[in-house]
Amino acid sequence: MNRIEHWNSIYSSRSDTELSWTQTEPAISLWLIGEVCAAGSVIDVGGGNSALAGKLLKRGYLATVLDISAAALDRARTQLGARAAEVNWVVADIANAPQLGPADVWHDRAVFHFLTDAADRAAYKRSMLGSVAVGGHAVIGTFALDGLDKCSGLDVRRYDAALLAKELGPAFTLVKTEPETHLTPWGKQQSFQFSVFRRVV
């Protein structure tokens, strides 16, 4: 099963309460995005069926949501209702370096840590560099060093802020990092870290 089939299968066969990453309120993402950009455009990479796009619209942002799974985005559009037409929905594998257009903030909650192949991470960075201009920001959440080493049947790479900064390279400088303990719908704790970067060159 390839990546597209894997994620479409998950989103087609499981309810929100069966998905470990489900959040009723994406509080840390909204907080960190708001700190670096009071208004503007946000690309949510791997947005899936997250509530983030709808929350961003209510705050006056423009939102693009990318996900590898068409099933995930179909669910997200249905949940958002009439305002779904205001979001730019993109079905694509970020590891294929899609061109997503400019954005003030690149947001990623739990995609980068699935990219265990160096070529996939390089493609991801090409897309990010193509979207975030100098002065723009990236907000990236991954499993922390004490987090899971496997999720949804796939291996992941764990990061702290320093390791993530090294991966992104000199075009981005670290602004801040925040730990997050995510509680799954069935009450299990998962250790994440969120890091905020500013593009400097």
d(CA 183, CA 188): 5
The confidence score (pLDDT) of residue 10 equals 97
Q: Provide the CATH number for the domain around residue 77.
A: 3.40.50.150
Domain limits at 110?
3-199
State the pTM of this model: 0.97
Task: Write down the pLDDT at residue 148.
Answer: 97
Extended beta strands in the chain, E state: 41-45, 62-67, 88-91, 103-109, 132-143, 150-151, 154-155, 172-183, 189-199
Listed in sequence order, the residues at least 6 apart from 8 whose beta carbon sits closer than 8 Å to its beta carbon are 69, 70, 71, 72
**Cα distance between residue 34 and residue 177, in whole Å:** 15
Place of tokens 């390279």: 169
Confidence at residue 1, expressed as pLDDT on a 0 to 100 scale:
77
Give the strand order in the sheet containing 41-45. Answer: 88-91, 62-67, 41-45, 103-109, 132-143, 189-199, 172-183
Handedness of CA 179, 76, 124, 7 (dihedral sign): positive
Q: How many domains does one find in the chain?
A: 1
Q: Is-contact 174 197, C-beta < 8 A?
A: yes
Which residue from 176, 115, 169 is spatially nearest to 142, judged by alpha carbons? 115
Please report, in tens digits, the pLDDT of each residue of the chain (201 residues total).
799 999 999 999 999 999 999 999 999 999 999 999 999 999 999 999 999 999 999 999 999 999 999 999 999 999 999 999 999 999 999 999 999 999 999 999 999 999 999 999 999 999 999 999 999 999 999 999 999 999 999 999 999 999 999 999 999 999 999 999 999 999 999 999 999 999 999
Q: How far apart are CA 126 and CA 27, in angstroms?
A: 28
